[in-house]
Structure 1
Amino acid sequence: MNKDIESATNGLRGRRDFLKGSAALVGGALLSTALPAGARSWRLHSDPIRIALIGCGSRGAGAAVNALRTKANVVLVAMADVFRDKLDETWQTLMQIDGVKDAVKVPEANKFTGLDAYEKAIAAADAVLLVTPPAFRPLHFEACVKAGRHVFMEKPLASDAPGIRKILATGEQASLKNLKVVVGLQNRYDAGYREMVKQLQENAIGKIVSATDYYLIGPVRMVPRRQGQTELEYQLRNWRYFNWLWAGSPAGLQIHNTDVVNWVKGAYPVRAQGMGGRSSLSGPDTGDIFDHFFIEYEYADGMKLNSQIRHISGTWNKGGAYFQGTNGTASLQSGIRDLNGERIWRNSNKDSENAYQVEHDVFFDAIRNNTPLNDTEWGAMSTMTTIMGRMAAHSGKMVELEDALKSELVLAPEHMDWNSEAPAKPDKDGNYPIPMPGTSNII
């Protein structure tokens, strides 16, 4: 067995045992009162805290706004994106927002573009916001930690198992360097979710016997092909339609709800089986993703999570994670109810501060006060949960977590430039190979 794989799977076994018995998994991290053993002392080298934004789409703009609205004295000093038009669009947006624009201090020399732009942005900052498509997260995270930078990174954290293994290894290095890491699964920072999870972990509905999560919405945004584009540029601009870039909708969408179930359980599913396909997508320029999934996850204690995902126009919408226990039911939307349907808890935190803001407040507070904070492990393993679910649906097979985590199948090449071939290759008619249950190689 490859030593890196052996190390990752052995570590997973130990972490799984710890998490199953831990009551400390609340909010955004495994809370600790001391710095990790062997961690280097660290002090803030600049005031204000200089941040770089890598990935200038709409989520990148949102992350930058949240970062600049913290009370930690933060300034944006560098921006990076593959495309200059996206960078300019986000810069212009930020410059129009009161309470934010005065903290945007990005000179022209610090506006970087291209597939290597991330390296220059990292060098200019103390902390980095990683908000690109997930295919690039492992490479960018590794570069940040090697450079000694604190990191906020959006979900999901990778598109494939080799990427997850790199994320986990880099997260361990971040702890050794005493770097702060927050993952953008904002439900972990939401006051309502935190209270509900606490109630469920204290047996408010008895033993949880099953859970269902839903992410049923309209179609995800499609970016039309432009005349003169290379294939790689088209895929990068239309990244939600390619598995190598997006990781598929179990990771790109449903991960929020699946992570809540993992949080309640204090564990991750050990296997998955499922199905899916393309009901609304066909023909050229529609990528290689499925537009619907049904995935059955199983935890070590036998509990099942049934996960429904659909992004098709004109269909019924529903979202959230729902729990069934021996003494009642629970969801953030409907509250906690007993077996007679009487509500025994409701979310009274609807007017609390937005969780997108809270996660940044916590991140920069940890930097300022040098407190332990590293979300990498649970962020990576919830991402791996959804990758396992996608593997199961694409293959039509029962997939074990340890086999999935050891997979050597690379969807996202680590190093690319504008001369690289696009990983998804269309045929002469512009159609992309689609995963086929029963025949597709997913391990």
Structure 2
Amino acid sequence: MSLILPTRRDFLKVSTAAAAMAAAGVHTSMGAPDPSRKLKIGFIGCGGRGTGAASQALQADSNVELWAMGDAFRDPIDKSLESLKTLLKDKPEKFNVAEERKFVGLDAYQKVIDSGVDVVLLTTTPAFRPMHIKAAIEAGKHVFAEKPMAVDGPGLRSVIESAKKAKEKNLALVDGFVWRWTQANREAYKKLHEGAIGDIRTIYSSYYTGSVDRYPKWNRTNTKTDLEWQIRRWYYFTWLSGDHIVEQAIHSIDKMLWTMKDEPPASVVCVGGRQARPGALPPGKYQLGKADGTTTDVESAGGEYGNIYDHFGAEFRWENGVKGYHFCRQIGRCYNANTDEVVGSKGVYQGESASKRHVIIHSDNPWRYQAPSGVKDNGYQTEHDEMYASIRANKPINTSERFTKTTMTAIMARMAAYSGKEVTWQQAMESKEDLFPKDLKWDSKLPVAPVAIPGVYELT
């Protein structure tokens, strides 16, 4: 079957009914989950975020159990299962992971899918997300997939095709863009869409964090192959993570798209670079700033911090003249912030995740979000609660109309930064830049690609 590339306008042909199904309150009307049949959960990618997702999934429904686990390595499985049993020590009935259903290796995902599960949690390294989504949907499984959904154009197009099949098969396909699932953000963006600040003029977002020193114990001396080393330290390699604008700061880009009712931008210009990651410096000893303001000493042999950037600044342009400005940085001992600001013709919206600030100011009708007394607004839990309720009601949620757009918007920003070019939506959607290594095996030779140099890096 030939693959028809969706244009930007194709993405906008979303019916009013479909848009309403994605709105904040729709899933709360489905009633309590039907506990008549136990759902078996398969957990693929057993790291920290995955363990959190598994915990939330096990608490989302009264009649589910963890049935199978899979990871490239055995140690994350054991660590995750121990953590889950500690977190849910009062719910031992939720765990039924027999030893023969703990799968290890590059094909572990397929073994989990084939083990008799009903739902799969896909929380591996982002590079593998497209193939895992495809395999799960083809096998008829409901899917929760952590963001991002892909790291390049070919991967994203695969996800789009899988999402279409999920709709045809009446399967849930739910994302981990957590802010979409919080009541505070839902109310704030509902206000924006109702015209509370008038016509949208400009959108600004920031995601400034510390250096995110992940997986410090893994290096070339205690890993056997290039692939093991890179997967163990996946965050620092563009082919695995997509770079931090795609892996982390994509949350802020998602809120930009939300502001625009998920209309993707027409084009983007983006700058970025790499100044402070130790691997960008000659071999030697360095002091690395951490997110909490402290420091840690590291010794760099060169290469272990991969080829990703440590800062980006993007300017998105929409066809109606709206511009969106996004800035992100991962450098220690610097100013940190995670903010959103939307300037309209009649007011300004300001949101800040850390302080839970959601206000409309400079408006004839100022507004501040007030959380209901005693109500916990945990988007990580809500995304699973609503997914399982929809499965029980035989009205499975499919959020692909928005998560595919957000993922491509972040990817096109990275493409623009790496190349130094303006990148249009259509260019990004038609991109042949496939970052995934061919014929991947444990003993594959995987030289680290050089850090991208704008004006030199070629897009395909």
- TM-score (normalizing by structure 2): 0.86
Instruction: Name 1:243's counterpart in structure 2.
Output: 238
Kindly state the Cα deviation for residue 388 of structure 1 after the two structures are TM-superposed.
0.3
Aligned 1:123-142 pairs, distance under 5 A: 123-124=114-115, 125-142=117-134
The answer on 1:218 being equivalent to 2:210 is yes
In 1, the alpha carbon distance for the partners of 2:418 and 2:408 equals 15
Report which stretch shifted further, 111-120 or 329-338.
Answer: 329-338
Aligned 1:40-439 pairs, distance under 5 A: 47-97=37-87, 98-124=89-115, 125-223=117-215, 224-229=218-223, 230-266=225-261, 267-281=263-277, 282-283=280-281, 284=302, 285-333=304-352, 334-339=357-362, 343-348=366-371, 351-413=375-437, 416-422=440-446, 425-426=447-448, 432-439=449-456
In 2, the alpha carbon distance for the partners of 1:347 and 1:392 equals 39
In 1, the alpha carbon distance for the partners of 2:227 and 2:372 equals 44
Please tell me whether the aligned partners of residues 251 and 386 of structure 1 are also in contact (alpha carbons under 8 angstroms).
Answer: yes
Kindly state the Cα deviation for residue 250 of structure 1 after the two structures are TM-superposed.
1.3
In structure 2, the CA distance between the partners of 1:240 and 1:20, relative to structure 1 (3 Å rule), is: farther
SS at match of 2:5: helix
In structure 2, the CA distance between the partners of 1:30 and 1:47, relative to structure 1 (3 Å rule), is: closer
Q: Deviations over 1:89-148 (max 9, x none)?
A: 101111212244430110000000000011110112110000001100000000001110
Query: Unaligned 5+ residue runs, structure 2?
Result: 282-301
Kindly state the Cα deviation for residue 368 of structure 1 after the two structures are TM-superposed.
1.0
In structure 2, the CA distance between the partners of 1:23 and 1:269, relative to structure 1 (3 Å rule), is: same
SS at match of 2:315: strand
Q: Deviations over 1:16-53 (max 9, x none)?
A: 2447998637547998x99xxxxxxxxx9992100000
In 2, the alpha carbon distance for the partners of 1:390 and 1:29 equals 34
In 2, the alpha carbon distance for the partners of 1:188 and 1:69 equals 20
In 2, the alpha carbon distance for the partners of 1:308 and 1:211 equals 11
**Could you tell me which amino acid in structure 2 is paired with residue 438 of structure 1?**
G
In 1, the alpha carbon distance for the partners of 2:438 and 2:40 equals 27
In structure 2, the CA distance between the partners of 1:442 and 1:99, relative to structure 1 (3 Å rule), is: farther
In 1, the alpha carbon distance for the partners of 2:433 and 2:141 equals 29
Percent identical: 35
Kindly state the Cα deviation for residue 172 of structure 1 after the two structures are TM-superposed.
0.1
In structure 2, the CA distance between the partners of 1:415 and 1:184, relative to structure 1 (3 Å rule), is: farther
SS at match of 1:51: strand
Kindly state the Cα deviation for residue 437 of structure 1 after the two structures are TM-superposed.
0.2
Kindly state the Cα deviation for residue 261 of structure 1 after the two structures are TM-superposed.
1.7
Aligned 1:13-24 pairs, distance under 5 A: 13-18=9-14, 24=20
In 2, the alpha carbon distance for the partners of 1:129 and 1:258 equals 23
In 1, the alpha carbon distance for the partners of 2:124 and 2:376 equals 28
In 2, the alpha carbon distance for the partners of 1:117 and 1:175 equals 26
Please tell me whether the aligned partners of residues 72 and 368 of structure 1 are also in contact (alpha carbons under 8 angstroms).
Answer: no
Kindly state the Cα deviation for residue 342 of structure 1 after the two structures are TM-superposed.
8.1
In structure 2, the CA distance between the partners of 1:438 and 1:139, relative to structure 1 (3 Å rule), is: same
Kindly state the Cα deviation for residue 397 of structure 1 after the two structures are TM-superposed.
0.6
Please tell me whether the aligned partners of residues 205 and 336 of structure 1 are also in contact (alpha carbons under 8 angstroms).
Answer: no
Kindly state the Cα deviation for residue 320 of structure 1 after the two structures are TM-superposed.
2.8
Please tell me whether the aligned partners of residues 67 and 98 of structure 2 are also in contact (alpha carbons under 8 angstroms).
Answer: yes
**Could you tell me which amino acid in structure 1 is paired with residue 149 of structure 2?**
L
Report which stretch shifted further, 145-154 or 22-31.
Answer: 22-31
Please tell me whether the aligned partners of residues 266 and 424 of structure 2 are also in contact (alpha carbons under 8 angstroms).
Answer: yes
Please tell me whether the aligned partners of residues 68 and 100 of structure 1 are also in contact (alpha carbons under 8 angstroms).
Answer: no
Please tell me whether the aligned partners of residues 191 and 349 of structure 1 are also in contact (alpha carbons under 8 angstroms).
Answer: no
Kindly state the Cα deviation for residue 242 of structure 1 after the two structures are TM-superposed.
0.6
In 2, the alpha carbon distance for the partners of 1:294 and 1:410 equals 24
Kindly state the Cα deviation for residue 321 of structure 1 after the two structures are TM-superposed.
1.9
Q: Deviations over 1:220-255 (max 9, x none)?
A: 233340425211111101111011000111111111
Please tell me whether the aligned partners of residues 212 and 323 of structure 1 are also in contact (alpha carbons under 8 angstroms).
Answer: yes
Kindly state the Cα deviation for residue 84 of structure 1 after the two structures are TM-superposed.
0.5
Report which stretch shifted further, 367-376 or 337-346.
Answer: 337-346
Q: Deviations over 1:278-329 (max 9, x none)?
A: 1102131220000000011111211111000001110100003211111111
Please tell me whether the aligned partners of residues 126 and 150 of structure 2 are also in contact (alpha carbons under 8 angstroms).
Answer: yes
Please tell me whether the aligned partners of residues 94 and 101 of structure 1 are also in contact (alpha carbons under 8 angstroms).
Answer: no
| RMSD, aligned CA | 2.6
Please tell me whether the aligned partners of residues 243 and 289 of structure 1 are also in contact (alpha carbons under 8 angstroms).
Answer: yes
**Could you tell me which amino acid in structure 2 is paired with residue 309 of structure 1?**
C
Q: Deviations over 1:146-187 (max 9, x none)?
A: 110000000000110000000000000010011111100121
**Could you tell me which amino acid in structure 1 is paired with residue 208 of structure 2?**
L
**Could you tell me which amino acid in structure 2 is paired with residue 202 of structure 1?**
E
